[in-house]
Amino acid sequence: MRVLAALSGGVDSAVAAARAVDAGHDVVGVHMALSRNRDQFRTGSRGCCSIEDAGDARRAADVLGIPYYVWDLSERFEQTVVADFVAEYEAGRTPNPCVRCNEHIKFEALLDKGVALGFDAVCTGHYARIETGADGRRELHRARDAAKDQSYVLAVMGPERLARAMFPLGDAASKDDVRAEAAARGLGVSAKPDSYDICFVADGDTQGFLRERLGSRPGDVVDVDGVVVGAHDGAYAFTVGQRKGLGIDRPAADGRPRYVLDVRPSSNTVVVGAAELLTVRGLRGERAVWFGSLGRDEGAGDARDEDHAWTACRVQVRAHGAPVAARARVVAGPDGPGSGVEVALDEPLRGVAPGQSVVLYDGTRVLGQATVAASVR
């Protein structure tokens, strides 16, 4: 196959590309330039989009003996990932930019351009597995190494794009094994630290980044009874479950810490309260993406029906969060039949914010993904 290998400049994508070469594929490496001004992005090991990462990607391609290109996707990245990030916080929600990057950049813009150029698949260094089910359909599964599993942020890609994806590291036993393999192959990134945080927030100050984009918008911090207990410079800078930096000028009557319970953009207020008020026992999601049926056995197409029964599963609401037992059913959403999901949690969660992704699993298999629209406390 003709394979387009996304080279981020890190060790994972380099080893994934090497494995694709070993498998006999015709591999071409490409690095995605996501900012016109690369200095805006993190340098060192903290991000995945700096100018030095492009150099590391080029050197990896040279070692592997594959062609290498840099594609400018900065405009698309700004219009989708960055704009969505700002708009979601402004609307009082908590987005996951890595999920949106996988959706709009790696498995939309990159894949679509690759297919248009005659490539059969895109290869990335994500830790996830692709298996073929009994019905012949491709299934997205958790990685062998649970500590590195990235199926949560990949679930948004959907079955059509999964059909053209390759994740050669899905069966890797550990990140240490991947580093050892990179060193054995002579890849200079073998000891490069992992990337963390949000690549386009250069100094790690998310509140400062949002304030620069959205400006100062002073408002009140109130308790559950509506009593003003503090002030803020912009409700957009807060997220459900937050404890620090609340701008509260008086302690709670019981002396216990207070947390953000709600962000209300319409009134520009932030509501705070006791930790137990963050307990969530149900979720409602929208913009659902399905990899198979939920509550039926006939196939993925049935996920668009509105009369599904409740189905036992496990759900995960954070990239590194633990999955919990739940029941879920497909419902109609803003985008029509099958675009929503209702989740009843068997085990309560704490501090789930609108805008987060909820991913549904059957064992290691991903059933679907949705964006949290509301929670039931």
Q: Which two tokens stand for residue 334?
A: 């803003």
Q: Is the dihedral of CA 210, 211, 212, 218 positive or negative?
A: positive
HSE at residue 261, side-chain half, CA atoms within 13 A, is 19
Give 178-199 as a DSSP string: HHHHHHHTT-TTTTPPPP-S-T
Examine the residue annotation and report whether 98 is marked as an active-site residue of this protein: no
Kindly report the backbone phi and psi dihedral angles of residue 365, in degrees, each rounded to the nearest multiple of 5, phi listed first: -85, 135
Cβ-contact 295, 310 below 8 angstroms: yes
Identify the active-site residue in 49, 123, 199, 313.
Answer: 199
For residue 217, the Cα-to-chain-centroid distance in whole angstroms is 28
336: how many CB neighbours lie within 10 A of its CB? 10
Q: What order of strands is seen across the sheet that includes strand 219-222?
A: 228-232, 219-222, 269-273, 259-264
Catalytic residue check, 313: no
Catalytic residue selected from 48, 49, 98, 101: 101
Q: Which is nearest to 125 in space by CA: 33, 32, 14? A: 14
Residue type, 77: F
Q: Residues with catalytic annotation?
A: 101, 199
